[in-house]
Amino acid sequence: MVSQTEQLLLALMIGVIMLGMGASLTWRDFFRAFKRPQAILIGFASQYLIMPFIGFSLAVALQLPPAIAIGLIIISCMPGGSTSNIFTYFSKGDLALSVTMTTFSTLGAFIMAPLWIFLYGSRFMTNEISVGMGSVIVGLVVMLIPVLIGMVIRRRNANVGAILELIGGILGVVIILALIALWVPRNAPLLATTPWQVYAAAVGVGLIGFLFGFLVSQAARLGFRRASTVALEAGVQNGPLALSIVLLSFQGELANQIVLIPVLYSLFIVITSSLVTLFFRRQNELRQQHAVALL
Contacting positions for other proteins (CB under 8 A): 26, 28, 31-32, 35, 154, 158-159, 161-163, 165-166, 221, 223, 285, 287-295
Query: How many Å apart are CA 129 and CA 119, to the nearest integer?
Result: 12
* Residue 43: CB minimum distance to other proteins, A: 18
Please identify, using beta-carbon distances, which residue of 166 and 177 lies nearer to other proteins: 166
Please identify, using beta-carbon distances, which residue of 44 and 154 lies nearer to other proteins: 154
Q: H/E element holding 193?
A: helix 188-193
User: Measured in Å, how far apart are the chain's first and last C-alpha atoms?
Assistant: 52
Please identify, using beta-carbon distances, which residue of 6 and 285 lies nearer to other proteins: 285
* Residue 276: CB minimum distance to other proteins, A: 21
Please identify, using beta-carbon distances, which residue of 165 and 233 lies nearer to other proteins: 165
Check residue 75 and give left, alpha or beta (phi > 0: left; psi -120 to 50: alpha): alpha
* Residue 223: CB minimum distance to other proteins, A: 8
Question: Which candidate, 144, 80, 79, places its Cα nearest to that of 116?
Answer: 79
Buried b (16+ CB within 10 A) or exposed e, 103-139: bbbbebbeebbbbbbeebbeebbeeebebeeebbeeb
Give how far Cα 69 sits from Cα of 18, 63, 120, 260, Å.
33, 8, 10, 10
Angle ∠(49,112,268) on CA atoms, nearest 5: 65
Query: How many Å apart are CA 153 and CA 135, to the nearest integer?
Result: 27
Please identify, using beta-carbon distances, which residue of 96 and 259 lies nearer to other proteins: 96
* Residue 285: CB minimum distance to other proteins, A: 8
Please identify, using beta-carbon distances, which residue of 192 and 295 lies nearer to other proteins: 295
* Residue 24: CB minimum distance to other proteins, A: 8
Give how far Cα 256 sits from Cα of 63, 247, 259, 273, Å.
19, 9, 5, 26
Query: How many Å apart are CA 93 and CA 235, to the nearest integer?
Result: 15
Please identify, using beta-carbon distances, which residue of 161 and 209 lies nearer to other proteins: 161
* Residue 227: CB minimum distance to other proteins, A: 11
Q: H/E element holding 129?
A: none
* Residue 150: CB minimum distance to other proteins, A: 12
Please identify, using beta-carbon distances, which residue of 192 and 291 lies nearer to other proteins: 291
Question: Which candidate, 262, 222, 230, 231, places its Cα nearest to that of 246?
Answer: 262
* Residue 180: CB minimum distance to other proteins, A: 22
